A and B are shown apart, each in its own frame.
Chain A
Amino acid sequence: MTIPLRTKIILYTLLVLAALIMFAPLLITFMMSFMSGQEIMMGNMIPTSFSLENYVAVFQRFPLVRYLLNSLVMSLLIMTGQLIISSLAAYAFVFIEFKGRDLIFFLFIATMMVPFEASVIPNFHTIRDLNWLNSYQGLALPFFAMAFGTFLLRQNFKQIPKELKEASQIAGIGDLKFFLTVVLPVAKTSLLTLGVYGFLTSWNMYLWPLLTTTDDRFRTVQIGLRQLQSQEQLNEWGVIMAGAIIVVIPTLMILFLGQKRLQQGLTEGALK
């Protein structure tokens, strides 16, 4: 079906206008990060010079590499933990029948009604009492179990025919082997989607790292950005902008590469 030319023109106009508005904050920051402090303070909107001095400055004055590394370690830990624990749980819900399974399934649903913010105070005390403030395990462990991930994988595992399980049982293949060699490879793309989602949300986490890290050795890049913003003088906007651009590059790249997958995966998980 072809779209009439008039409609096409209207649509393109709307698309471009909307893109300008939605993309403007990122684009402006990107431009500003290459401008000198003086130019920004004069209120120039278009850069007349191009310099990388803001990027050099932000790396020199702040332990940004350390922050990036911390975020990477924490996000990978959370992502891996979520994938392992959610897929194990999803397997039990699909392939192992036992008494009390429905009750536990209900328990999983119930966890979705508890916002993290409502349990953050005792969680902070738990991590503090374990002496895990300023540690990777303290940052990551509370996020390992995940109802959303379990449901997403459960939906996917359900598509594997039950006969396959029965046949492998007769052939004497145990649950763990069936899980590792049959189920996980089949669910590869769903695992990938969940992994990307877990990585993105962990990398962007704010409240928990703010509470549990006070030390530059473990501070994540988001909290580093907060430090940068509150410590820098007003005329150092270029440096702050350069920091913000560096923070968003990894997640934007992941999003651009995995957008289609993520969209399909999240829609499936959302609507079942």
Chain B
Amino acid sequence: MKQVALPYQEHEHKGLLKALKLQRMASFSKGMLFLLPSIILFSVFLFYPLGRTLYLSFFLTNSSGQTTVFVGLENYMNIFNSPIFLKSLQSTLLFVLYTVPGTILVSLFLAIIANEKLKGVGLFRTMYASTMGISTAAASVFWLFLFHPSIGWLNQLLKLLGADAIGWLTNPDWALFSVSIATIWMNSGFTFLILLGGLQSIDQYLYESANIDGAGYFYKLRRITLPMLSPTLFFVITVSFINAFQTFGQIDMLTRGGPQNETNLIVYSIYQDAFMNYQFGTASAQAMILFFIILILTLIQFKLGERKVHYQ
């Protein structure tokens, strides 16, 4: 009986393996079919261009973007010796330093006061979130008027207070600061909305037991709200960092990188080199530097985000 059964079993086993293999093949091709549109688009518009940018950064190019002379790392050496690029890097870092903490603090404050259960609070929430629906171009028009040297509201208010007018966008000492203020305003809507969502998902039970213990408002803020909010907070900080490094629209609308290159942030610098001076090589080298900055920031987010920062 054994002798009869064995070949039969073996045969069945083989058939099963084959069927399994076929099934695996089928589900592989099915999976790939569903993923193919994404994979093709990412390849054409993301991975290829990234490689191409790296490639271009080692070359000189003609005005249509064709490579002409291989120069190795010279583009990188040139930009790091160029006072204009170093200035751009410095402005970008300063801009990040102004706008990231600024946006987070403003949005956090708004989210905390709008999180209370009060009558009519929905209206306030909508108002605070509204800047998310306002495009960079439109917001820049608003602020261009507010910053206007003679008829703008800011200088009019200063005049009412008896102070001197300020060249908000024309004075090199003020321009970057002014652009930062406008940017904080523009970015606060989105950050507010995310932080409010984070606050609302905190378990109310924690507050109730703290109330029974007679905890004060600021004690609860420090000991419950902020620690419980830390994953959300961490997320918006990273997103704000990345957004700040990618700022372009408001620079183009408000200052065009001036005065004296004070507001020539890195993306604007890339734009100028590539699309106004047709220096695609040096522009690509700058783009690679931007890529590495963002890469590091995203990696930090993934690494720390995994740990969910701080759950008590």
Binding site for B on A (CB under 8 A): 1, 3, 7-8, 11-12, 14-15, 18-19, 22-23, 25-26, 28-29, 32, 40-41, 43, 45, 84-86, 88-89, 91-92, 96-101, 104, 107-109, 111-126, 141-142, 144-145, 150, 175, 200, 203-204, 206-207, 210-211, 222-223, 225-226, 229, 237, 240-241, 243-245, 247-248, 251-252, 254-256, 259, 262-264, 266-267, 270-271
Contacts and interface: CB of A to CB of B under 8 A. Distances in A.
Interface in B26-71: 27-28, 30-32, 34-35, 37-39, 41-42, 44-50, 52-53, 56, 65
A29 B143 CA distance: 9
B137 A206 contact: yes
B113 A255 contact: no
25 contacts: A18-B113, A85-B37, A97-B27, A98-B32, A114-B295, A115-B294, A118-B53, A119-B46, A123-B45, A123-B49, A126-B49, A145-B37, A150-B38, A222-B138, A229-B144, A229-B253, A243-B141, A247-B138, A256-B126, A256-B130, A259-B126, A259-B129, A259-B193, A263-B196, A270-B232
A88 B141 contact: no
A225 B138 contact: yes
A210 B232 CA distance: 33
Contacts of A29: 141-142, 145
Bin the interface of chain B by size: 35 or more
B142 A144 contact: no
B129 A255 contact: yes
Main secondary structure on chain B at its contact with chain A?
A: helix
Contact of B298 (A89, A113, A121): A113
A92 B24 CA distance: 14
Interface stretch (B12-20, B219-227, B282-290): B282-290
A205 to B, nearest CB: 8
A25 B146 contact: yes
Contacts of B49: 119-123, 126
Contacts of B76: none
Given A26-B142, A115-B242, 8 more contacts: A88-B37, A97-B27, A104-B39, A117-B287, A120-B274, A121-B52, A229-B144, A255-B132
Contacts of A255: 126, 129-130, 132-133
Contact of B45 (A14, A145, A237): A145
Contacts of B134: 26, 204, 248, 251-252
A144 B28 CA distance: 23
Nearest to B141: A244
A121 B211 contact: no
B287 A120 contact: yes
A111 B35 CA distance: 14
B45 A98 contact: no
The 10 nearest A-B residue pairs measured at CB: A267-B197, A119-B49, A255-B133, A145-B41, A92-B34, A122-B49, A204-B135, A206-B249, A122-B52, A118-B291
Nearest to A88: B34
Given A96-B34, A262-B193, A15 B141 contact: no
A36 to B, nearest CB: 13
B118 to A, nearest CB: 6
B34, B118, B136, B283 — which one has the most chain A CB atoms within 10 A of its CB?
Answer: B34
Contacts of B34: 88-89, 91-92, 96, 175
Interface stretch (B1-9, B93-101, B150-158): B150-158
Contacts of B302: 109
Contacts of B125: 259
A142 B46 CA distance: 8
